[in-house]
Amino acid sequence: MEPIQSENLAVRLGARVRYPLADSLLRLYRRRGSVTSVGGRRGYTYLLGPEANQFVFARSGSFRWGRALDFLRPVDGETSMLLSDGDDHRRRRRLVEPGLHHRRIADHVPTMAANADAVIDQWHPGEEHDAFAQFRAAIRRTTLDTLFGPSLASDAQWLGEDLQVMIDLCDALPQVVGTRRRLRTPLWRRAMASRDRVDARIHAEIARVRGLGAGAEASIMDTLVHGRDGDGAGLADEEIRDQAVTLIVAGYETTSALLGWALHAMLAQPEVWARAAEEVATVVGDAPPTAGQVRAMPYLNGVVSEALRLWAPVVVLARWLAEPISFAGKDIQPGRSVVISPYLTHRLPELWPEPLEFRPQRWIEGDALHRKPKPYEYLPFGGGAHRCVGAAMAVTEVAVMLARILARTDISLVPQRIRPRSMVTMKPRDGVRIRVQSVR
């Protein structure tokens, strides 16, 4: 893809900042339709388009997540909710969901705003910063603090450094990750050393929370350690470790990617920045927003939703097929990896007028562009039984942090290359560099 200069970006951001690997799926869909198989008997079958998404979501029992996402095990662990199926997935998810309820998220809004302010407080007029990298660290600290408490949050810096080595190991094609594992490459060895340090810290935290007794802290760690299912059974320590690491990594990887794309899109279109800033000034003023005020800003929330549409953190979703299925007149045999694509679905003109244009108003009721999509037409956080458990937390946090940037700063994009990267979470490869004009 040709490098993009931020100063030359026009309205059609979706046409200018694209992911070549994912864009090939669009061409595949136009040429071959909704079903394409590659790679022989144990290869991949692409089921593309909204009807394919609906078909897959309705048949979760036909698929296995763990087999399809095996390359993530070095980070997330054998028992991660992300890699679980059936009863195991439901049991682990039930213990996590209460900590991510809307009422609990509302209580976390002040922490989100405070961590955004801590970044902005370090900015001064005339300076240049990588806003993506700095807010990524802020979101990681928020994730640790709000979900697991101040004890783990105090180690956010070194935990982030070790987690990044683990993420780098798995941020490649599954075949590449498998090769690294078999050959015990230097990256593999560094990642395993990092994992040992992270695991030791998580297990120490498990022991600390267990010693305090149930309910001593309002955190997901308390729920994981002391929670019980309907049969009175709890999670083993290794299960707790795996859910904790999955929530931490997913909590800041996807959320920071979303913030990076949304910030870049607003800065590339001055009229979007101006309208969002006016809304924040009218609804919130200079103070940090409350949860109710966040919900009362439809245009800012439209910015977040539109960034999710054009640059959904997860480009493709894969599942391993456990039983025969038929779709669009074609039989698909067990043993294949079935792939659907939010990225493709979100760029189809038959679903989205002017699909490559960044239009936050398409999410505002009453606007000429507005059309409420069905769950299988808009799936930035997946869908069905495995829809991301932290979706509401992510969009709230990004809206809160953008509101603080809009209320407190005047910034502009530095000329730079904006190119997506990653096989796991699509994010700006070289960050989002900004120049500070003023800070309030």
3-state SS of the chain? Answer: CCCCEHHHCCCCHHHHCCCHHHHHHHHHHHHHCCEEEECCCCCEEEECCHHHHHHHHCCHHHEEHHHHCHHHHHHHCCCCHHHCCHHHHHHHHHHHHHHHCHHHHHHHHHHHHHHHHHHHCCCCCCCEEEHHHHHHHHHHHHHHHHHHCHHHHCCHHHHHHHHHHHHHHHCCCHHHHHHHHHHCCHHHHHHHHHHHHHHHHHHHHHHHHHHHCCCCCCCHHHHHHHCCCCCCCCCCHHHHHHHHHHHHHHHHHHHHHHHHHHHHHHHHCHHHHHHHHHHHHHHCCCCCCCHHHHHCCHHHHHHHHHHHHHCCCCCCEEEEECCCEEECCEEECCCCEEEECHHHHCCCCCCCCCCCCCCHHHHCCCCCCCCCCCCCCCCCCCCHHHCCCCHHHHHHHHHHHHHHHHHHEEEEECCCECCEECCCCCEECCCCEEEEEEEC
CA distance 50 to 342: 9
CA distances from 334 to 195, 325, 418 (A): 34, 8, 40
Under a CB-based contact definition with an 8 Å cutoff, are residues 190 and 165 in contact?
A: yes
Predicted local confidence at residue 11, as pLDDT: 41
Alpha carbon of residue 35 to chain centroid? 27
Of the CA atoms within 13 Å of residue 435, those in its CB half-sphere come to 10
CA distance 65 to 321: 9
pLDDT (tens digit, 0 to 9) for every residue of the chain, 440 residues total? 233 333 333 345 655 666 676 778 888 899 999 999 988 878 999 999 999 999 999 998 999 988 889 999 999 999 999 999 998 999 899 888 887 887 889 999 999 999 999 999 999 999 999 999 999 999 999 999 999 999 999 999 999 999 999 999 998 888 899 999 999 999 999 999 999 999 999 999 999 999 999 988 888 999 999 988 777 778 999 999 999 999 999 889 999 999 999 999 999 999 999 999 999 999 999 999 999 999 999 999 999 999 999 999 888 999 999 999 999 999 999 999 999 999 999 999 999 999 999 999 999 999 999 999 999 999 999 998 889 999 999 999 999 999 999 999 999 999 988 888 776 788 998 999 999 999 99
Cα Rg for the chain, rounded, in angstroms? 21
> What are the φ and ψ backbone dihedral angles of 213, each rounded to 5 degrees?
90, 160
Q: In the numeric block, which tokens belong to residue 275? A: 């309208």
Of the CA atoms within 13 Å of residue 349, those in its CB half-sphere come to 5
pLDDT, tens digit, 9 for 90 and up, residues 385-415: 889 999 999 999 999 999 999 999 999 999 9
Q: Is 382 left (phi over 0), alpha (psi -120 to 50) or beta?
A: left
Predicted local confidence at residue 8, as pLDDT: 36
Orientation angle between helical segments 237-268 and 186-212, nearest 10 degrees:
110
Predicted local confidence at residue 13, as pLDDT: 60
CA distance 378 to 358: 15
Residue with tokens 């019980």: 228
Q: In the numeric block, which tokens belong to residue 49? A: 């388009």
Alpha carbon of residue 199 to chain centroid? 23
Q: Is 44 left (phi over 0), alpha (psi -120 to 50) or beta?
A: beta
Which residues have CB under 8 Å from 202's CB, separation 6+?
240, 241, 244, 245
pTM of the model: 0.92
CA distance 157 to 194: 13
